[in-house]
Structure 1
Amino acid sequence: MTATTTIETGRAIATLINVFTVLPERQAELVAVLSRATEETMKDRPGFLSANIHASADGERVVNYAQWEGEEHFLAMLADPSAQEHMTEAAALAEGFDPRLYAVESVHHI
């Protein structure tokens, strides 16, 4: 069975949406850093559920959509030195970033 990201209302999870602004020539490198960070560190942290890395068609944004079992798990990850190394590397590639935790309020399907 393949695990997938489930987006639904009423789940008591913390959803991180981090929007990175990046120069188009650095977008692929930032995507690679975030993907490597997820594989090497984030996915093994307690409370990690999923991460999805999105690259904008214009090359100027990268979005990390990640789910954690709760805010406390997300905050514990932020304090982890190995996670901090990856976050510092990603931040150095970006022109800016805006990480925020969200709750799913509405989902619509065809």
Structure 2
Amino acid sequence: MTVTARIDSTRPVATLINVFTVSPERQEELVQLLARATEETMKHQPGFVCANFHTSHDGRRVINYAQWETEEHYRTMLGNPEARVHMEQAAKLAEDVQPRLFHIQSTHSSR
């Protein structure tokens, strides 16, 4: 069963878009690590809203699209030692990591 969540542009959240560059043979390993980190640690942090992982067809990118209630919640998570362990493991698998915070400006859908 797939649960689809709609992005709500009226809710003030901190949106993290983290682009990982990986070798194609490590893409699935990275996704599994990120999913495990989310289940074990991230989703239990104050202010966590959601996390979604996307993989490129060429195997070279993994996108982590995550939301936190506030930027402060996100920054607090960065200082958590348990979360840091997972982030360091992910950085070792990736060739490059580019996390950025964004604001939702608008959303569009067919429904």
| TM-score, L = length of structure 2 | 0.93
Superposition deviation, residue 106 in structure 1: 1.4
Q: Which blocks of at least 5 consecutive residues in structure 1 are unaligned?
A: none
1:14 aligned to 2:5?
A: no
Aligned to 1:33: 33
Question: What's the CA shift string for 1:59-104, capped at 9, x where partnerless?
Answer: 0000000010000000000000000000000000000011000011
SS at match of 1:12: coil
Superposed CA RMSD: 1.4
1:63 aligned to 2:63?
A: yes
Superposition deviation, residue 10 in structure 1: 2.6
1:54 aligned to 2:64?
A: no
Question: What's the CA shift string for 1:24-69, capped at 9, x where partnerless?
Answer: 0000000011000000000000000100011111100000000100
1:98 aligned to 2:77?
A: no
Q: Which blocks of at least 5 consecutive residues in structure 2 are unaligned?
A: none
The answer on whether the counterparts of 1:5 and 1:50 sit within 8 Å (CA) in structure 2 is no
SS at match of 2:15: strand
The ranges of structure 1 where at least 4 consecutive aligned residues each deviate by more than 2 angstroms after the TM superposition are: 2-6
